């Protein structure tokens, strides 16, 4: 039986893809949410999160996306360089 090795390249690729999907969903939610006052006056929520919470999730996932994208670029520098 062969034992597979752990790969940081695969892990970063997975996280870049997963985080992009989170950014896509939160971006669509923030696009369709009512303007600030209306969302606050009506106590607008979607899936238990308010507009401010959706904004926080979007910003934090964007920062994580930047960090993981830089790591992805570092781990894949040789293929990028030879392309």
Report d(CA 19, CA 22) in Å as an integer. 5
pLDDT class for 65, splitting at 50, 70, 90?
very high
Residue 50 has phi, psi (to 5 degrees) of -80, 175
pLDDT digits (tens, 9 = 90+) for 17-53: 999 999 999 999 999 988 878 877 888 888 898 888 9
CB-count burial class (<10 Å; 0-12, 13-18, 19+) for 52: exposed
Alpha-carbon separation of residue 16 from 19, 20, 63 (angstroms): 5, 6, 11
pTM: 0.80
Token digits of residue 66: 């930047």
Token digits of residue 35: 């303007």
């Amino acid at each position: 039986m062969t034992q597979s090795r752990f790969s940081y390249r695969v892990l970063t690729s997975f996280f870049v893809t997963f985080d992009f999907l989170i950014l896509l969903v939160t971006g669509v939610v923030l696009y369709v949410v009512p303007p600030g006052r209306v969302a606050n006056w009506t106590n607008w929520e979607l899936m238990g999160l308010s507009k401010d919470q959706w904004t926080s999730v979007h910003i934090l996932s964007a920062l994580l996306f930047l960090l993981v994208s830089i790591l992805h670029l570092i781990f894949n520098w040789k293929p990028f360089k030879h392309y």
